[in-house]
Amino acid sequence: MKKVQVKLLILIVLILAVSTAGCKNVQQPIVFKNAYPILETMTLEDKVYQMMVISASEVKDDSINFGGIVYFKKDIGTIAETQAKLEAAKSGKKIPPLLAVDEEGGRVSRLKDLYPELGYEPLPPMAEITDDGTKTGQTLADVLNKVGFNTDFAPVADVGQDSEAIGNRAFSTDPEIASEKVTNVVKALASRNIISSLKHFPGHGSALADTHEGMSITEKSREGFETVDFLPFEAGIKAGADMIMTAHITAPSLDPESVPATFSKPILTDILRGQLGFEGVIITDALGMGAVAEMGAEGCIKAIEAGVDILLMPVDYTAAKDAIIEAVNSGRISEERINESVLRILKMKEKHGLI
């Protein structure tokens, strides 16, 4: 009997040893110590402003603690000038902002003129890169880190290059190739602590018109989205993408109401969160673009109702703030819904050491 007990004990020890060894490669959940206490101290106005990323040229009141600031080529000077500008933007802020830039490579490169001084060749369009995305992502992250940015509105996860707005910004017309490169860019950015943002969900590749100019409709079937367009987004989510940016395209197969994806609860809440399992931050594309600009402050409310966490460049951020607060006070939007978004934003910032 004793021999049986000894053998049983040895077996249990071996099982535990194997289980422990296997757990070494399991990523431990992040324990958030700062996000929750900060949320508890915020006023409703604080929360609403935290849900906005505005352009650097629109910052008129340094006392407002916006969720983030996005910089364009006109805002970029020398390396030293840009570094000083970014330091000033976060100085004195209780919650440091996302310091964001559209740095994809190719024709969407706000920092292109700084690459040589930093010891890099400017990146070609993503359709022309020859690596698997790792080296490209590392270059992007190194440049951003050296200048002082913490957020990149990249990589593009759209499939196909016929769209006027996307073209060679997309990695490939093949969803598997695009998925691989999206995965590796996201991982490379994360390895250097840069916040990433996949764009433009649910996939802009088949919507030919440019949403910067006006409405863009795609007649692609739901099956077409699920077997092509969604794949790079699913890959990016699995790789740990922090944010996903919405497209202003209209996709009737995904939402019969035929509203732009930015305002579509079936697309953002049911599909992106429910079907694809994305738990990170959903950010709109710029709200001043032709396809949605006329919605104004009401568009900001509809985006939040659809599931958006961050409003990118609302046309009038003061009017948007007032409208959202009024929507909460009237009961149209609950403050709990606002808290959900702000908590996602704060957790993302804590994950990357900003708070």
Q: Do residues 113 and 78 make contact, with C-beta atoms less than 8 angstroms apart? A: no
Q: Do residues 169 and 221 make contact, with C-beta atoms less than 8 angstroms apart? A: no
Rounded to whole angstroms, the Cα distance separating 301 from 320 reads 8
Task: With H, G, I as helix, E, B as strand and everything else as coil, classify residue 315.
Answer: coil
Rounded to whole angstroms, the Cα distance separating 218 from 246 reads 15
Residue 316 annotated among the catalytic residues of the structure: no
- Quote the tokens at residue 98: 């996302």
Q: Of 142, 212, 270, 352, which is the active-site residue?
A: 212
Query: What is the b/e burial string over 150-166, where b = at least 16 CB atoms within 10 angstroms of the residue's CB?
Result: bbbbbbbbbbbbebebb
Cβ partners under 8 Å of residue 155, min gap 6: 104, 126, 133, 137, 171, 181, 182, 185, 186, 196, 198, 199, 236
Residue 174 annotated among the catalytic residues of the structure: no
Look at phi and psi of residue 179 and say left if phi exceeds 0, alpha if psi is from -120 to 50, else beta.
alpha
- Could you tell me which of 322, 305, 314 has the C-alpha nearest to residue 53? 314
Q: What angle do CA 25, 27, 33 make, to 5 degrees?
A: 150
Task: With H, G, I as helix, E, B as strand and everything else as coil, classify residue 170.
Answer: coil
Q: Of 102, 255, 285, 309, which is the active-site residue?
A: 285
Hey, how many other C-beta atoms are within 10 angstroms of the C-beta on 35? 20
Query: What is the b/e burial string over 8-24, where b = at least 16 CB atoms within 10 angstroms of the residue's CB?
Result: eeeeeeeeeeeeeeeee
- DSSP codes joined into one string, 198-262: EEEET--TT--S-TTTS--B----HHHIIIIIHHHHHHHHHHT-SEEEEP--B-TTT-TT--BGG
Rounded to whole angstroms, the Cα distance separating 17 from 349 reads 36
For residue 304, what is the enclosing H or E element?
helix 296-306
Give me the active site residues, please: 212, 285
